[in-house]
Structure 1
Amino acid sequence: MEGFPYQSEAGLLPGDRIVRIDGEPVYIYSDVALLFSRSNGETMDLVIERDGKRLVRDDFPLRLREFDVNGETQMKYGLYFTVEQAGVAMRLEQSWLNAIDFVRLVRMGLVDLVTGAAGLRELSGPIGIVGTISQVGEESDSAADAARNILYFGALIAVNLAVMNMLPLPALDGGRIFFLVVGGLFAFLTRRRLNPKYEGYVHAAGLVCLLALMAVVAFNDIAKIVTG
C-alpha cells in the first residue's frame, strides 16, 4: 500500500511471497491474517520468497498502522495480495494444503485450550455447529456462495473430528491404538499380556468424561442462543 514504510530490498517488495510467519508455514492466503493476529509483540519473523530465493526477515517490524483508504483512516498492515489463476494441478495442491491447514487449526485450538488462551465458552457442539452453518449460509452473497461456504465449513468439521478421534485419549480410536501399543510393549518386556479389563475400565471412565464434556458444551451452546 502507499505509505508502507518497509518497501525496500532489505524489507518487502511487490511480488514477494510470504511463506512463513513466526515459524508457521503459510499454506493458504487466509493464513496470513490468522498468523498476524496470533503474533505477539511489535515484530514478526518472516520468511519470504523473491525471484525463486528464500529470504529471512527476522524481527521484522510489521504491525497494524494507520493508512488512508479512499479518504478513510483504517488500521492495516499495509500489504496487498494478488490472485493467481489456478489450473487443475494447483487446485489439487490447494485442496491438500487446505486439509493440512485445517489440522493446524485443530492443533492451535487444542494449544489455546491447554494454555488457557481459550475456554470452554469457545467450544461448540452439534447445536452450535448447526447455528454456525445457518449463519454461514445467511451471510453469503448468493445461494451458490452459501453452498460453497457450507461445504468448506463441513470439510473443516470433518477434519476436526478425524484429528480429535485420533488423540490418544480413552474412549477414542486414538486411545485404542495407544493401548494396543502399550499392550504390545508390555507383552514384549514381561512376556505377559495386559489384562483387557483394565483397558475397559479406562475407556469406560473416558466415555463418562466425554459425555460430561458434551453436556457442558451443549449447555454452553443453548446459553449462547438464549442470551444472544
Structure 2
Amino acid sequence: MGIISAILVFGVLVFIHEFGHFIFAKLFNVKVLRFSIGFGPIVFTKKWGETEYAISLIPLGGYVKMYGENMEEGIDESDKDRAFLEKPVWHRFLIVFAGPLFNYLLAVIVFAVLFITGVNEFLPVIGEVKKDMPAYSAGLRAGDKILQIDGKPIKYWDDMSQYIKGKAGQKIILKIERNGKVLSLEVVPKKTVVKNIFGEDHEVGLIGIVPKGDTILVSYNPVKAIILGLEKTNEITKLTLVGIVKIIQRVVPADNIGGPIMIFQMAKQTAETGFASLLAFMAVISINLAILNLLPIPVLDGGHLFFYIIEMIRGRPVSVKVREVSQYIGLALLIALMFFAFYNDISRIISK
C-alpha cells in the first residue's frame, strides 16, 4: 500500500504541474499536441480532440507539447495564430509560470482541507516540570493548566511554547489553574542555546516544562482554513528557500539533497502513519517542486521565465544560439544534480 501511495503522490504532483501549463495554453488558444505524464517511450495513449494524452515509461516528470514551441518546427499559416512562439511574451510567461503556480496552489488547498477536517493540538496542561529549570523554581507543577501568559489567553500548548521561546531572560506572568484554583506565577525563561532545523545554534527561552499529551481536534471554517493553508504554504516556502541558501553556504550538508528514491521512501513511511500525514507530505513536496522549477536554470521553467523577462526588457527574444547553449548547460546541470541526488539516495540505503 505504501508503494502505491508513493506512486499516486508523485503522479498527482506531476499531473497538477503539467495541468497548469495545459490549462493556460488552452486559455490563450495555444494548440496542445500532447499531454504526457512521464518521459520517454509512450506506454499508453488516447487522443481526445486535437490533444494526445499519454502515460510514458519514465515516471520522473511529464510534459505538455505545444504547437510551434520550437523555432525549428514548421508553422502552417492556417494555424499560425495558435503557435506558442507567436503568442505575446506575457502569454508565454504565464503558460510556463502556471506549472509551478499550480503546485503552490495545490499545497494551499491540501493544507486548507487538513485544517477543515481538523488538526490535533496539544492542550496547555503540564505533564512534567524539570527540577533544574525556572518553572520548578517558580512553583509550577505537573497537572497545572496554563490559562494566560502576560494577560493573553492560551488555548494550545504551541501558542504558549512559541511565546516563551521569544522571551529569553525576560519576566513573564503565568496564570494557571490548579485543583480548581487560579494562581499567578512569575517566571524568567532561561536563555538556552539549541539547534535550529538547519543545525545552527539558536538562542531561545525555556522554562523546563513538558506537555501532558492531552490533545483536542480543532477544525476551522473554509475561509479560515484557506488563510491558514496559505500561511502554512508560505512558511514552508520560506524554509525551503532558506534551506537552499544554507546548502549553498555549506551550513547544511549537500548529502541532505534527495531524489525520487527518497521521496518514494518518505511517501511510503508517511502513508503508513495515516492519510492526513500523506496529504501533508504531498503538500510539502509540491512546494519543493514549485521552487525547484522556478530556479533560473535553462531546461527548467525558471530558465524559460528568465529569458522571457529579458525579452520583455529588451523588446526582442534572446538569440537562438544563446538559448541553445544555455539549454545544453542547463541540461548538464540538471543531469548532474539528478545523479548527485540518486547517489545520496543510494548511499542512505546502503548505510542503513
TM-score grouping bracket, smaller chain normalisation: 0.5 to 0.7
Asked if 1:94 is matched to 2:228, the reply is yes
SS in 1 for 2:152: coil
The Cα of 1:115 is off from its aligned counterpart by 1.3
Name the counterpart of 1:183.
Answer: 311
What is residue 156 of structure 1 aligned with on the other side?
Answer: 284
**Partner residue, 2:269:** 135
Q: Quick one: distance in 2 between partners of 1:62 and 1:79?
A: 15
Between the aligned partners of 1:154 and 1:132, the Cα distance in structure 2 is 10
Identity between Structure 1 and Structure 2 (%): 23
Match of 2:238 among 88, 91, 104: 104
Are 1:63 and 2:189 counterparts? no
Tell me how far apart the structure 2 counterparts of residues 44 and 124 of structure 1 sit (CA, whole Å).
39
The amino acid across from 2:150 in the alignment is: L
SS at match of 1:118: coil
- 8 Å CA contact 1:167, 1:175 repeated in 2: yes
The structure richer in strand per residue is: 2
Alignment of 1:1-228 (within 5 A): 3-4=134-135, 13=150, 15=152, 62-63=191-192, 77-78=207-208, 85-88=218-221, 89-138=223-272, 140=273, 146-187=274-315, 194-228=318-352
CA distance in structure 2 between the partners assigned to 1:186 and 1:94 by the alignment: 40
SS of residue matched to 2:244: helix
Determine the C-alpha separation between the residues in 1 that align with 2:169 and 2:280: 30
The answer to whether the 8 Å contact 1:168/1:175 transfers is: yes
Alpha-carbon distance in 2 for matches of 1:64, 1:14:
27
Rate the CA distance shift 1:77–1:205 in 2: closer, same or farther, 3 A.
farther
Deviates more, 1:82-91 or 1:159-168: 82-91
Q: Secondary structure at the match of 2:192?
A: coil
Taking structure 1 as reference, are residues 193 and 165 closer, same or farther at Cα in structure 2, changes over 3 Å only? closer
Deviations 1:16-69 (A, max 9, x none): 68xxxxxxxxxxx59x77xx7xx9xxx699xxxxxxxxxxxxxx864369xxxx
The whole-number CA distance in structure 1 between the counterparts of 2:233 and 2:239 is: 10
TM-score normalised by the chain length of structure 2: 0.42
- 1:57 maps to none
SS in 2 for 1:63: strand
CA contact (8 A) 1:166 1:175 kept: yes
In the TM superposition, what is the alpha-carbon distance from 1:120 to its structure 2 partner?
A: 2.0
Q: Summarize the Cα distance change of 1:64–1:90 in structure 2 as closer, same or farther, 3 Å threshold.
A: farther
1:128–1:193: structure 2 CA closer, same or farther, 3 Å change rule?
Answer: closer
Shift in CA distance, 129/203, structure 1 to aligned 2, threshold 3 Å: same
Give the direction of change, closer, same or farther, for the CA distance of 1:77–1:177 in structure 2 (3 Å limit): farther
Between Structure 1 and Structure 2, how many residues are aligned?
Answer: 172
TM normalised by structure 1 equals: 0.62
2-structure distance, mates of 1:6, 1:123: 45
Distance 1:77 1:204, change over 3 A: farther
Does the 8 Å contact 1:127/1:221 carry over to 2?
yes
Name 1:24's counterpart in structure 2: none
Q: Does the CA contact (< 8 Å) of 1:64 and 1:77 recur in 2?
A: no
User: For residue 173 of structure 1, what is the amino acid of its counterpart?
Assistant: D
Structure 2: runs of 5+ lacking an equivalent: 1-125, 140-148, 171-188, 195-205
Measure, in 2, the Cα distance between the counterparts of 1:79 and 1:103: 31
- For 2:230 and 2:242, locate their aligned partners in 1 and report how far apart those are by CA, in whole Å: 19
Relative contact order (alpha carbons < 8 A, sep ≥ 6): 1 or 2 greater?
2
Partner deviation per Cα, 1:49-92 (whole Å, 9 max, x = no partner): xxxxxxxxxxx864369xxxxxxxxxx65467897944313322
Query: 1:180 and 1:15, CA in 2 relative to 1: closer, same or farther beyond 3 A?
Result: same
Question: 1:181 offset after TM fit, Å?
Answer: 1.5
Residues 125 and 218 in structure 1, CA contact (< 8 A), matched pair in contact too: yes
Q: Which residue of 2 aligns with 1:143?
A: none
